[in-house]
Chain A
């Protein structure tokens, strides 16, 4: 019986040991699992950290690539902008060069056409074929006018030589008459709608028997009931003097026929530059230049304008330095103050030729001494403006027509070109508005 407690104690001990062992084993297992879980967690963390590092590296690389792409974009944008600006600038340069080329080609074409026409006119004039000469001039009036326009000052309204011009407004149109040159003994122009002048031909028929060809100068036309009277200067063959004659036509464009058997007026040593003026009372007076000594004279005309009807009156002599011994080419406009006498002074063949003005009591004088300085003198491209004549437009506007060389082509045989300016008398003194 004494062994039974021992057995029980032994059993208890074994049980205790077993339980302890079980607990120890459980604890051990629990520890191991905890450690394993930790290890797995750490492994997972390590993997994710590695992946995150890779991702961050990818971000870094992407940012770098982005910066490079942005830089490339900026460069491409700048390059494109620069090229666009360069293209615009080059396009402007091209347009300017093409405009210059087109302008030059147009000029070449114009000058060439003018050359062709002028060449034909020259051939014709050398063959004394007046009709062909006029036809050749008519074919190139416009292109030659443009060819002569140098862009300096007022462009000429007619391309060819047209000295001592006179303009008459008739029937709503304007006609210009000028000293003999390419278009004949008395050149005649008709104004076109655009203000340019076109060759109309030779206004004068055959010269009278007493007159010689080649010096038919300074025409002026007077409208009378039933017709027109053309006054002009022409050489008297027998004496060699320049004298004044007249021709008549039923229409303004002629041909004007001179049936005279002798000159109207030759002065003592010659007479030129006739121009009629109608007085305030309707009376007619012929103004003209007396040669040697130079003077402007006025002689009454019969009402039909065909005959001188009284003694000549002296209107103006040489009074001023600028005139250099010459007064000529009279033209007069009558207004409420009396009359304004326009005249030319100095050498017709140079730059100092100019237009002056004197004031007169009436068409037959008396007149004052004229201006100490010319009313119109050379300026800009206009050289030697003179041979002036006053006329009234169909709309009542007073104008003055004159010739002038065009710089630098001054002096015979260069052309004296046609110019027209407005004449304003409203201030009590003549003012020209070119």
Chain B
């Protein structure tokens, strides 16, 4: 085979390679575009999720604050009920004693004076 023929054969082969490579280039370019668009979408959704998580974090802080306030208020109220019931029990006993003329009602009231005072009664 002379040099010219060899060059022609080589050129043909090269042109075929060129065509295949161009197709591969197009395919790769399209694929890259698809992946990049998909990635952009995912990033957008991710950003929204991060915002949702941030909002939830703020909401959790508010809820925790409300929970703690309520627990404290319940604790304070619960602390009052014991002395109030003690005071009420003493007043009821004193009532029963006074209603039958039992002078020990005075002592009964004295026994719960501290509890009654602690709850402002």
Q: Is there an interface contact between B94 and A97, defined as CB atoms closer than 8 Å?
A: no
Complex contacts, A121 vs chain B, CB 8 Å: 95
0 or 1 for each of A27-51: is its CB under 8 Å from B? (1 = yes): 1001100110110011011001101
Q: Is there an interface contact between A118 and B91, defined as CB atoms closer than 8 Å?
A: yes
Select one of A59, A69, A94 contacting B31, CB under 8 A.
A59
Q: Is there an interface contact between B92 and A415, defined as CB atoms closer than 8 Å?
A: yes
Complex contacts, A20 vs chain B, CB 8 Å: none
Select one of B63, B80, B95 contacting A122, CB under 8 A.
B95
Q: A55-B28, A125-B95 are contacts. A62–B71 as well, Cβ < 8 Å?
A: no
Question: Is residue B32 contacting chain A, with contact meaning CB distance below 8 A?
Answer: yes
Q: A51-B25, A69-B43 are contacts. A414–B93 as well, Cβ < 8 Å?
A: yes
Question: Is residue B110 contacting chain A, with contact meaning CB distance below 8 A?
Answer: no
A93–B56 Cα distance when bound, in Å, is 16
Q: Is there an interface contact between B18 and A41, defined as CB atoms closer than 8 Å?
A: yes
Q: A101-B74, A161-B99 are contacts. A52–B28 as well, Cβ < 8 Å?
A: yes
A190–B68 Cα distance when bound, in Å, is 45
Q: A48-B25, A55-B28, A80-B56 are contacts. A66–B77 as well, Cβ < 8 Å?
A: no
Q: How many residues of A contact B (CB 8 A)?
A: 73
Complex contacts, B56 vs chain A, CB 8 Å: 80, 83-84, 86-87
Q: How far is the CB of A96 from chain B (nearest CB, A)?
A: 8
Q: Is there an interface contact between B88 and A182, defined as CB atoms closer than 8 Å?
A: no
Question: Is residue A23 contacting chain B, with contact meaning CB distance below 8 A?
Answer: no
Complex contacts, B63 vs chain A, CB 8 Å: 87, 90-91, 93-94
Select one of B38, B74, B85, B91 contacting A119, CB under 8 A.
B91
Consensus secondary structure, chain B interface? helix
A98–B69 Cα distance when bound, in Å, is 9
Consensus secondary structure, chain A interface? helix
User: B50 — nearest CB in chain A belongs to which residue?
Assistant: A76
Question: Is residue A11 contacting chain B, with contact meaning CB distance below 8 A?
Answer: no
Q: Is there an interface contact between A66 and B38, defined as CB atoms closer than 8 Å?
A: yes
Q: Is there an interface contact between B94 and A122, defined as CB atoms closer than 8 Å?
A: yes
Q: A52-B28, A55-B28, A87-B60 are contacts. A180–B84 as well, Cβ < 8 Å?
A: no
Q: Is there an interface contact between A104 and B78, defined as CB atoms closer than 8 Å?
A: yes
Q: Is there an interface contact between B21 and A107, defined as CB atoms closer than 8 Å?
A: no
Q: Is there an interface contact between A62 and B39, defined as CB atoms closer than 8 Å?
A: yes
Within 8 A of B (CB), among A200-215: 213-215
Query: Total A-B residue pairs with C-beta atoms closer than 8 Å?
Result: 216
Select one of A30, A72, A116 contacting B4, CB under 8 A.
A30
Q: A73-B49, A76-B53, A161-B96 are contacts. A37–B39 as well, Cβ < 8 Å?
A: no
Within 8 A of B (CB), among A66-106: 66, 69-70, 72-73, 76-77, 79-80, 83-84, 86-87, 90-91, 93-94, 97-98, 100-101, 103-105
Question: Is residue A412 contacting chain B, with contact meaning CB distance below 8 A?
Answer: yes
Select one of A31, A90, A409 contacting B89, CB under 8 A.
A409
A103–B104 Cα distance when bound, in Å, is 35
Select one of A34, A37, A48, A125 contacting B99, CB under 8 A.
A125
User: B27 — nearest CB in chain A belongs to which residue?
Assistant: A55
Question: Is residue A223 contacting chain B, with contact meaning CB distance below 8 A?
Answer: no
Q: Is there an interface contact between B77 and A107, defined as CB atoms closer than 8 Å?
A: yes
A6–B81 Cα distance when bound, in Å, is 148
Complex contacts, B99 vs chain A, CB 8 Å: 125, 161, 180-182
User: B89 — nearest CB in chain A belongs to which residue?
Assistant: A409
Q: Is there an interface contact between A79 and B53, defined as CB atoms closer than 8 Å?
A: yes
Q: How far is the CB of A372 from chain B (nearest CB, A)?
A: 34
A70–B35 Cα distance when bound, in Å, is 12
Question: Is residue A382 contacting chain B, with contact meaning CB distance below 8 A?
Answer: no
| 18 A–B contacts, CB within 8 A, in A order | A31-B7, A42-B14, A45-B17, A45-B21, A62-B31, A63-B35, A72-B42, A76-B46, A94-B66, A100-B71, A101-B70, A111-B84, A112-B121, A115-B116, A125-B95, A180-B100, A182-B99, A413-B108
Q: List residues of chain A with CB under 8 Å of any chain B CB.
A: 27, 30-31, 34-35, 37-38, 41-42, 44-45, 48-49, 51-52, 55-56, 58-59, 62-63, 65-66, 69-70, 72-73, 76-77, 79-80, 83-84, 86-87, 90-91, 93-94, 97-98, 100-101, 103-105, 107-108, 111-112, 114-116, 118-119, 121-122, 125-126, 147, 160-161, 180-182, 213-215, 409, 412-415
Other A-B pairs, 16, CB within 8 Å; known A41-B15, A48-B25, A62-B36: A30-B4, A34-B11, A38-B11, A55-B25, A58-B28, A65-B35, A66-B42, A72-B42, A76-B49, A79-B50, A80-B56, A87-B63, A112-B84, A126-B105, A181-B100, A413-B105
